């Protein structure tokens, strides 16, 4: 498992197709893949152009939106609705390794924010790399980008 250094930059908003869920932490390992599957089936059935899977955690109660990046507009259908990742200042880190180790990436960002007097603004999100067959044999290569929205910085240093 490896992490990149924490980076701070303006995150652009990514348009998403998502399903909305309220889950407990113990349900994430099943809720995220299940939601991704529902949305991917929706996208495939409508022959829409889409990208990577994304999970947005809106608050500490695990109000979750999970789905895919969208490259074209679409009409909501069933549980699948339009959404977007937050835009604005964000701290991010690239995590290489199995999904069950993502907590390390989240902790790295929270620790960095604490050490640099940066306040979290609430939402955080994960963007999952497109699955590679090689990851079945070597899960240390699985890529996930983790982002946390930051409150505006009142100083000029970041």
- Contacts of 4-7 with CB under 8 Å at 24 or more apart are 4/93, 4/94, 5/93, 6/91, 6/92, 6/93, 6/108, 6/109, 6/112, 7/91, 7/92, 7/93
The answer, yes or no, to whether residue 156 has pLDDT greater than 60, is no
**Span of 4-13, 24-33, 96-105, 148-157 with lowest mean pLDDT:** 148-157
* Residue 154: band (very low, low, confident or very high) from pLDDT cuts 50, 70, 90: low
The pLDDT of residue 2: 81
Report the C-alpha gap between 56 and 64 in whole angstroms: 6
Mean pLDDT over the full length of the chain:
93
- 43-77 pLDDT, tens per residue? 999 999 999 999 999 998 899 999 999 999 999 99
């Amino acid at each position: 498992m490896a992490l990149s250094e924490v980076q701070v930059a303006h995150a652009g908003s990514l348009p998403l197709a998502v399903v909305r869920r309220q889950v407990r932490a113990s349900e994430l390992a099943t809720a995220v893949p299940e939601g991704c599957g529902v949305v991917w089936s929706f996208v495939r059935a409508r022959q829409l152009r889409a990208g990577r899977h994304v999970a947005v955690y809106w608050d500490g109660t695990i109000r979750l939106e999970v789905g895919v990046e969208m490259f074209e507009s679409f009409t909501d259908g069933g549980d699948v609705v339009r959404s977007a990742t937050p835009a604005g200042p964000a701290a991010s880190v690239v995590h290489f390794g199995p999904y069950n180790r993502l907590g390390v990436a989240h902790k790295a960002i929270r620790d960095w924010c604490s050490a640099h007097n940066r306040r979290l603004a609430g939402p955080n999100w994960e963007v999952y790399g497109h699955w590679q067959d090689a990851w079945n044999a070597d899960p240390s290569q699985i890529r996930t980008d983790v982002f946390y929205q930051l409150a505006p910085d009142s100083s000029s240093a970041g």
